[in-house]
Amino acid sequence: MLPLSIMIELLTLDFVHPVEGVQAFSTTRVDVDKRNAYSGVNLCDYVGDDALRVLDSRITLAMQLGVDLDDLVMPRQTHSCRVAVIDERFRSLDIDKQEEALEGVDALVTALKGVVIGVNTADCVPIILADGEAGVIAVAHAGWRGTVGRIASSVVKDMCRQGASVDRIQVAMGPSICQDCFEVGDEVVEAFGQARFDVDAIVKRNNDTGKAHIDLRAANSAVLAAAGIPIDNIAVSQHCSRCEHDRFFSARRLGINSGRTFTAILQR
């Protein structure tokens, strides 16, 4: 038997307009060992953490949520804009076929109940979405590449194919890097400009360093608004992963070889 951890402390993510029967959260780090960049709860199995520790955390979370281990679904993210739909057909696949279907995917959509869909992030923006009336939920990982590629818009389209309606979709962004912490090179600013983002609205310059800082949350809000989501339906967590790196994982602060914050949604 694996030694089961104590309860995982979850940060509840609230929508502006509550969606009945839906639970959304981000995992948090507690009692952090500052010498260990994986210290805290990490469910991500491809960032160099000990496999048994990852499994232990997944089992603990599943038990805490009252679901089975294979009800926790998370993609193997690659900063792509690919969306996978988790349906009965996916659920009927063997585990290796499921893993294949989740390879290179950065967003998930489902209309199933009891399935926990989530993404792993360390500074990137985790986005959860729900249309309670249609019973369609989604989650996306938006780093700067995914944001430039408008992954949030792709997710909305896939939700609508499953019966959701843009005017009813509620959105919440979980803990992510704040604009002050997100210094980028000019090539990143150029990428946003080439993708026709309103650069003046999302980029500011640090007066001392002259470096550009991008507001990834505002950029994703703009993508969602352009996709038809009412701006009043978008909630944005003000928790910064880098400022609060002892509570959330931050690749900028801890290095790329570190744990990830798991942000997920499920409907019961």
Q: Rule CB under 5 A: which residues touch Zn ion?
A: 178, 181, 240, 242-243
Taking the least distance from each CB to Zn ion, the nearer of 40 and 132 is: 40
Minimum CB–partner distance for residue 193 and Zn ion (Å): 24
Taking the least distance from each CB to Zn ion, the nearer of 181 and 188 is: 181
| Sheet of 125-131, strand order | 83-86, 107-110, 136-142, 125-131, 170-173, 234-236
Minimum CB–partner distance for residue 174 and Zn ion (Å): 14
Taking the least distance from each CB to Zn ion, the nearer of 173 and 178 is: 178
Strand pairing report for 72-73 and 116-121: parallel
- Do 264 and 24 touch, CB atoms closer than 8 A? yes
C-alpha distance from residue 83 to each of 157, 159, 247 (Å): 10, 10, 28
Minimum CB–partner distance for residue 244 and Zn ion (Å): 8
How far apart, in whole angstroms, are the C-alpha atoms of residue 242 and residue 38?
15
Minimum CB–partner distance for residue 246 and Zn ion (Å): 13
Minimum CB–partner distance for residue 102 and Zn ion (Å): 30
How far apart, in whole angstroms, are the C-alpha atoms of residue 265 and residue 117?
6
Q: Is 178 left (phi over 0), alpha (psi -120 to 50) or beta?
A: beta
Taking the least distance from each CB to Zn ion, the nearer of 59 and 181 is: 181
- What's CA 264's distance to the chain center, in Å? 7
- Residues forming beta bridges with residue 205, ordered by sequence position: 212
Minimum CB–partner distance for residue 240 and Zn ion (Å): 3
Taking the least distance from each CB to Zn ion, the nearer of 92 and 207 is: 207
Taking the least distance from each CB to Zn ion, the nearer of 168 and 242 is: 242
